[in-house]
Amino acid sequence: MHKHIFFDLDGTLTKSRTRMSEEDVPVFDALCAARDVIVVSGAEEKQMRTQLPVKIDHAYYLLTQNGNHAIDKEGSVLWSERFTDEQKALIHTFIKDIHDEIALSVKNEDDLVEDRGSQISYSLIGHHEDLATKQQFDPQGEKRKALLAARGIEVQHLFERGIEITVGGTTCFDIFQAGKNKGYNVVRFIEKMGWQREDCIYFGDALEPGRND
């Protein structure tokens, strides 16, 4: 039996930016009491807390922003990565180039980019767009993969400057420090806790190449 259980959030424990269903709460509660539970997401802590059960807060660890901001059960920060101002400028230029090229009509232009501190996320149609619309927009990530593939040289240029871009969530590009993706940070967390890898298991919804699990 695995002792340490890692879960992706959106599409795994919950729907996108949605609170965990009431029928799942007792199961999650019991699992947190019996095992180490670690929730991993591209979202920031505040958003993750709104989706997870309030009554069992501090019963699990959080790897927020693809693990670049790590929090223990008591809410203490274990580590937190940050972009430089130069990196942020490059990121916003990249986002603007895609935004201007695809020229999508969206409900709220101010809802597209979130600087979460340790990660910048760009939603092509809006982070708070209707859930059904988000789920139908790019369910397999093919549109976003194609956008990145068409900018291979630019993506590599950014990587060489310490910036990585992946397809994340339902409509997003997740942008974080190069190499410090979910996989990297899960291993980093396991090593920091002194756990054995064979005692750990990860559940996610986007495990195929090019996705963020």
130: nearest Cα among 46, 18, 6: 18
- Joined tokens for residue 102: 């695809």
Neighbours of 120 (CB within 10 A): 23
Tally the C-alpha atoms within 13 A of residue 51's C-alpha that lie toward its C-beta. Answer: 22
Q: How would you label 57-85 residue by residue, b for 16+ Cβ within 10 Å and e otherwise?
A: eeebbbbbbbbbbbbeeeeeeebebebee
Distance CA 97, CA 70 (A): 31
- Helix, strand or coil, per DSSP, at residue 208: coil
Residue 9 contacts by C-beta under 8 Å, 6 or more apart in sequence? 39, 40, 41, 43, 48, 51, 52
Reported as a single tens digit per residue, the pLDDT across 3-56 is 999 999 999 999 989 999 999 999 999 999 999 999 999 999 999 999 999 888
Between 51 and 206, the higher pLDDT residue: 51
R_g of the chain computed on alpha carbons:
17
Q: Percent of the chain, pLDDT > 90?
A: 91
Statement: residue 211 has pLDDT above 80: no
Q: Are 35 and 5 in contact (CB under 8 A)?
A: yes
The torsion angles phi and psi of 212, rounded to 5 degrees, stand at -95, 5
Neighbours of 18 (CB within 10 A): 13
Q: What is the pLDDT of residue 212?
A: 65
Distance CA 176, CA 183 (A): 13
Reported as a single tens digit per residue, the pLDDT across 45-100 is 999 999 999 888 889 999 999 999 999 999 999 999 999 999 999 999 999 999 99
Q: Name the pTM for this structure.
A: 0.87
